[in-house]
Structure 1
Amino acid sequence: MFKKNLYIFLGLCLFSIMFSFAQSSKQKELENRRLELTREINKINELLDSNKSKQKSQITVIEDLNYKVSVRENLIKVTNQQANLLTREINNNQKEISANREELKVLKDNYASMIRKSYKNKNKSSRVMFLLSSSNFKQAYKRIQYLNQYADYQKKQGENIRTKTEALQKSNQELLKKKEAKNKLIAENKIAQKALEKERKEHEVIMSAIKKDLNKYASQIKEKQREARKIDRAIDKIIRDAIAKSNKSKSKAAASSKGFALTAEAKALAKDFLSNKGKLPWPVEKGIVKVRYGRQPSPIDRTVTINSNGVRISTEKNAKVRAVFAGEVMSIIKQKRSNPTVLIKHGNYITVYKNLGKLSVKQGDKVSTKQEIGEVFTNPATGETVLRFSVYKDNATENPSSWIFKM
């Protein structure tokens, strides 16, 4: 029975430790995410507010606000999750403190009873009489052992009380810290909520002004999409031609392949590129993703769908563009009414950098990871500095956020 109870007790202790560790791990994960979002908001304000002197288009302002609101909502959500987790931890702490107090009370009562009994029997003569009254030597020896064990037990009980008292004090200190942390999170959330309300109101005001002349803005969006599709078609053609050229000397089956025919060196490069998925550096040192990959409704006219085959990164003026991985400059596209686009080949993977101003490379150049390849173009009218970045595997686009570190 004793063994069974011991196993149950040990099992409960193990569960408690594992539960506490899981909560601590989750709290750390949430705190890291909260700090990331806070840094992102600071970065948004730094990048977007640096061009206040410029007359931004209503479309740009709405995009900026949409992004700010989205990040702010995520921050509030994560902070709420942290506060709720802290509430659970505080409740568990309080239960533990109550249990410790009860146990401490029992220990103290037992100890007090022992001390009283010990006090009554502390007289040396009574101890001597207790030993002399033994019927034989064996009994006397056992009584000496009992007196020694009783003294040791008293000492252990005293130590136990001291340990429990220290544990209780520590639990109380942890509880106070957690309550302070929770109050801090609640205060921060109130500030974030006020900022969110302000941004939503600003969004509503601009949107109501836009709705009065929605056709004009919708046509501007469609015109930008037409220009983007024109560049995308040029990129697709360059990639198709390069694939066909790589397969030209191969068999008929290979010649009709949709993928590159790779040399041993190119295969090794592609394998290396793939092994770095999710760890590639950003194509600019500082930036925020304003438009994500894939199909999405326009922030201005929800009936218009934007099909983004890459990401749009807002960055600072004169921002340098960096190759995200070692490779070769496959092509540079220059078209009327659009800024240069650079394609870099990494085996059968291609990274594309659109809307460049100055160029630092030419077709055929070998580049290394983080090597400067140019500078992002800054719109002189709006002050916007936006890099469009895409990733291809053969002739199919992939989500850049899956490749770039913490995008």
Structure 2
Amino acid sequence: MTVNNFFFRLFLLAFLSVGSIYAQSDEQKELEARKLRLQEEIQQFNTLLSQKRREKTDVLEDVEDLNQKIRIRKELIKVTNEQTNLISRQINNNINKISKLRDDLKELKSDYAEMIRKSYKSKSQQSRLMFLLSSEDFLQAYKRIQYMKQYTNHRKEQAAEIQSKTTQLQELNNGLVTQRKDKENLIAENRKEQASLEREMENQRGLIASIKEKESQYAAQIREKQKQADAIDRQIDKIIRDAIAKANAANKETTKESRESATKSSNFALTAEAKLVDTDFKANKGKLPWPVEKGVVKMRYGKQPHPVVKSVTIQSNGVRIATENGAQARAIYRGKVLAVQAIKGGNKAVLIQHGNYISVYNNLGKVYVKEGEKVTTKQEIGEVFTSPSDNETVLKFMIYDNNHTDNPANWIYRM
């Protein structure tokens, strides 16, 4: 192998290795960030559960809470496994690099030794001075001087390359020790999480068995709660329809005919300012802040089997977010308060208009804003109600596109 080919191979190997290291580093950072979020979610959930000092136990809620914890913990175990697998791949890659580097060093040292041997042999046959004096003319002598300089520099470069590759080899070996230690820590962490998961699942099985004995009774309770939730949703739907009609009738930027038409419509007739808010709101889809600073989603959007009694189907027009006592509800984006309403069986609700979209914050014990008021992103609009019977603090949050519900998880960052 020529010297030029050898250095090209070394450069190519280094380039590919750097690209691989950066890719793995980004993946590692993403996995670590996911793991920290899940650990924080579990911690939040444990904090919320510790606040629920109940006078009497609600088995259905206990199982719902346990289901949620199990789901989060399973996801955490999955992420930790992905981290372990990534480190295993990195270890294997580094072992292959070390093997390749050792072969390259062996070849480089062999070439260097041969160069030294030839140089010594050349010195023994004739001195540099004689080599120069034997030149036929000045130009040849000049070229020989340049050749000797290049030859000397090449020897120095090869010696430096040997030193550099030796250092890389030592660093890779040290890195292997660290990586193997990280892998051991992750495996130990995973065992701990697995043990917690097994305890929770055992507890879950016991609770579910007790529910099975009275399944028809619990199913009746769930259906009754669903009826109450449906009644509240109908109230909110009516509030939104009435608010759209009222806002359209009051819109002075439209003609009398269009206002009368808009009053009967299910969509907003937007002012220029409202159109701008609408555009900005849509542009931030998936990036909007949570309606509470800390919280865990206990029920997701849409039609779904009950998390405990699977024979019962429930409909959720929004999400239920469990949060801490005294938590403040926050506007997810700038807009105008469309309505503040006392909901029968549901405490108070605040509706905020963002162009064609409406965010709904239900189950508030206190409200800090009034109808028509403009609010900013993350502005506190009220305090989430804490139930005195079970000490649970839950915000019922919805997003409407005009008078149609939409999944909040599509809009809120990492919901």
Asked whether the two chains share a fold, i.e. TM above 0.5, the reply is yes
Give the whole-Å Cα distance in 2 for the aligned partners of 1:94 and 1:107: 20
Give the length in aligned residue pairs: 407
Give the whole-Å Cα distance in 1 for the aligned partners of 2:161 and 2:39: 46
How far 1:36 sits from its partner (Å)? 1.1
- 1:393 aligned to 2:401? yes
Using structure 1 for the length normalisation, give the TM-score: 0.89
Alignment-mate amino acid for residue 300 of structure 1: V
Question: CA RMSD for the aligned pairs?
Answer: 3.0
Give the whole-Å Cα distance in 2 for the aligned partners of 1:94 and 1:185: 20
- 1:287 aligned to 2:295? yes
How far 1:121 sits from its partner (Å)? 5.5
What do the CA deviations read for 1:176-224 (whole angstroms, capped 9, x no partner)? 2222222222111111111111111111011101111112211221111
Q: Which moved more, 1:1-10 or 1:311-320?
A: 1-10
- 1:404 aligned to 2:412? yes
Alignment-mate amino acid for residue 292 of structure 1: R
Structure 1: which 5+ runs fail to align? none
Structure 1 residues 241 and 10 mapped into 2: Cα distance closer, same or farther (>3 Å)?
A: same
5 Å-filtered alignment, 1:230-245, equals 230-245=231-246
- Which of 273, 280, 294 matches 1:265? 273
**Percent of paired sites with the same residue:** 52
Aligned to 1:161: 162
- Which of 356, 359, 364 matches 2:372? 364
Structure 2: which 5+ runs fail to align? 250-256
- Which of 277, 281, 286 matches 1:278? 286
How far 1:374 sits from its partner (Å)? 2.0
Structure 1 residues 365 and 376 mapped into 2: Cα distance closer, same or farther (>3 Å)?
A: same
How far 1:263 sits from its partner (Å)? 1.6
User: Contact conserved, 2:262 with 2:268, CA < 8 A, in 1?
Assistant: no
Q: Aligned with 1:355: secondary structure?
A: strand
User: Contact conserved, 1:218 with 1:300, CA < 8 A, in 2?
Assistant: no
Structure 1 residues 115 and 246 mapped into 2: Cα distance closer, same or farther (>3 Å)?
A: same
Aligned to 2:203: 202
Give the whole-Å Cα distance in 2 for the aligned partners of 1:9 and 1:164: 10
User: Contact conserved, 2:357 with 2:402, CA < 8 A, in 1?
Assistant: yes
Q: Aligned with 2:292: secondary structure?
A: coil
What do the CA deviations read for 1:84-104 (whole angstroms, capped 9, x no partner)? 122112111111111111111
Aligned to 2:309: 301
Structure 1 residues 307 and 123 mapped into 2: Cα distance closer, same or farther (>3 Å)?
A: same
Aligned to 1:87: 88
Q: Aligned with 2:194: secondary structure?
A: helix
Give the whole-Å Cα distance in 2 for the aligned partners of 1:50 and 1:328: 34
Q: Which moved more, 1:4-13 or 1:85-94?
A: 4-13
Alignment-mate amino acid for residue 293 of structure 2: E
Aligned to 2:40: 39
User: Contact conserved, 1:217 with 1:300, CA < 8 A, in 2?
Assistant: no
Using structure 2 for the length normalisation, give the TM-score: 0.87
Give the whole-Å Cα distance in 1 for the aligned partners of 2:138 and 2:337: 100
Aligned to 2:254: none
5 Å-filtered alignment, 1:161-240, equals 161-240=162-241
Give the whole-Å Cα distance in 2 for the aligned partners of 1:170 and 1:200: 44
Aligned to 1:378: 386
